[in-house]
Amino acid sequence: MDNKSNKLKIANQIIYFKSSELMTEITDKSIDTIVTSPPYNRGKNYDDDYNDKLPESEYFELLKKVFSECYRVLKNNSVFFLNIGDSANDQGKSENVAKLAENIGFNRIQSIIWVKSILGKGHYTPSGGNKRLNNIWEYIFLFSKGEKYELDVKSIGIKYADKSNIGRYSEDDLRDAGNVWLINYAKTTGKTIKKGHEAPFPIEIPFRCIKLVNANNVLDPFAGTCSTLAAAHYLGIPGFGYEKYPKLDVIKDRILNSNFTPQDQVLIPDLEKSVKILNDFLININFYEKLINKQLDIKKFGNIKKLKTIQRTLQSLNIQNPNLDAIINQLMDQSKIKGKKTKSLTDYLK
């Protein structure tokens, strides 16, 4: 740590340990993109000295100053990503924060919805009680400074499910994945949190933001654990952070030892991959041939309805299994011939 300037340089990342109300270290129009999540002002325990429950007017005054500095340092025709969520009993604050950025001069482009959890998969804070449902998503507001910005939507794109769209909508097999990002929120009881931070966002968020604009540098004025700088480090670009209440060990660990790897763009990470692996395995061992040839104990597989459930699951994940389709078609045909709709699979194969 450099005591004179109160800053820390780790690899190609610089963190200034001061308030971002004045970012004098950063020159005008020098930053390619900004990714940040401000304090939410609802009593989170970022640091013992830090009061995350300021009077509302003071909170908005702080954000106004920081956003004005963001506007100053951002290059023209560049983009600012602002992550903030409402808590169950604090509805509407995010919108007011977004309006503040608009009043400073940023154009609001759109909202990206970060889904933190679905059906209990992924962490979220239970706060709704019997008055409201828990909030399991947050905003990533997308702002620009100037109209001539460009997003490289395919840099975080997905492959077409329907390959006939290649050539019709796009030259290659890549399409924009859309503005709902399912990124599980890591459980907040790990080392990072215990050692001093309650609210880091996943590194996947700044990773996607930086990729989306092909930025050559990035700023996070509320750096926290330095997730944004960890993404910048991973992508090999310089990052600048401001953090008024730094936890040095946490920051070093986050930037250097996060073991980050980009997440597959799938509905439930790893579940889809596992289903694919299992499916390939079943195709390779000629599972269905054995099934037809009665070399497997059919009773274990129940009736045709269950096979159709598996088929529907594979179809909705865009996973092909021609063997399964063939056997179901064959069984359906036989069923039509015999005039029976749902017969046990065991009966068909007798």
Ligand X SMILES: C[S@@+](CC[C@H](N)C(=O)[O-])C[C@H]1O[C@@H](n2cnc3c(N)ncnc32)[C@H](O)[C@@H]1O
* Minimum distance, C-beta of residue 147 to ligand X, in the bound complex (Å): 28
Binders of ligand X among residues 275 to 334 (CB under 6 A) are none
Contact range with ligand X by CB under 6 A, out of 104-112, 143-151, 238-246, 306-314: 238-246
| Residue 204: Cβ-neighbour burial (10 angstroms; 0-12, 13-18, 19+) | buried
234 makes contact with ligand X (CB under 6 A): no
* Minimum distance, C-beta of residue 34 to ligand X, in the bound complex (Å): 12
Query: Of the candidates 242, 230, 234, which has an alpha carbon nearest to the alpha carbon of residue 70?
Result: 242
3-class SS at 242? strand
* Minimum distance, C-beta of residue 21 to ligand X, in the bound complex (Å): 6
Rounded CA-CA distance 10/255 in Å is 8
Q: What is the DSSP letter of 120?
A: T
CA atoms within 13 A on the CB side of 318: 8
Rounded CA-CA distance 88/70 in Å is 29
* Minimum distance, C-beta of residue 191 to ligand X, in the bound complex (Å): 14
- Kindly state the number of chain residues that form the binding site for ligand X, as judged by CB under 6 A: 22
* Minimum distance, C-beta of residue 118 to ligand X, in the bound complex (Å): 21
227 makes contact with ligand X (CB under 6 A): yes
How far, in Å, are 331, 335, 342 from residue 347 at the CA level? 11, 11, 10
Q: Which residue lies nearer to ligand X by CB, 52 or 95?
A: 52
Please identify which residue in 70, 199, 209, 212 interacts with ligand X, judged by CB under 6 A.
199
Q: Which residue has the tokens 């005054």?
A: 61
Q: What is the DSSP letter of 257?
A: S
Contact range with ligand X by CB under 6 A, out of 199-207, 305-313, 328-336, 337-345: 199-207
Please identify which residue in 7, 64, 244, 308 interacts with ligand X, judged by CB under 6 A.
244
122 makes contact with ligand X (CB under 6 A): no
Please identify which residue in 12, 19, 111, 344 interacts with ligand X, judged by CB under 6 A.
19
Q: Which residue lies nearer to ligand X by CB, 198 or 272?
A: 198
Contact range with ligand X by CB under 6 A, out of 137-145, 177-185, 219-227, 326-334: 219-227
Binders of ligand X among residues 39 to 98 (CB under 6 A) are 39, 46-47, 50, 62
Q: What is the DSSP letter of 143?
A: E
Evaluated on CA atoms 343, 302, 270, 250, the torsion sign reads positive
How far apart are the two ends of the chain, measured CA to CA in Å? Answer: 76
Q: What is the DSSP letter of 262?
A: P
Q: What are the DSSP E strand ranges found in the chain?
A: 7-10, 13-16, 31-36, 74-84, 107-115, 137-145, 180-182, 218-220, 239-242
Q: Which residue lies nearer to ligand X by CB, 17 or 288?
A: 17
How far, in Å, are 89, 132, 177, 182, 292 from residue 185 at the CA level? 20, 21, 20, 9, 44
201 makes contact with ligand X (CB under 6 A): yes
- Which residue has the closest beta carbon to ligand X? 224
* Minimum distance, C-beta of residue 167 to ligand X, in the bound complex (Å): 41
20 makes contact with ligand X (CB under 6 A): yes
φ and ψ at residue 263, rounded to 5 degrees: -85, 140
Please identify which residue in 60, 137, 234, 245 interacts with ligand X, judged by CB under 6 A.
245
Q: Which residue lies nearer to ligand X by CB, 258 or 321?
A: 258
Q: Which residue has the tokens 């995010």?
A: 94
List of residues contacting ligand X (CB under 6 A): 19-21, 37-39, 46-47, 50, 62, 197, 199-201, 222, 224-225, 227, 242-245
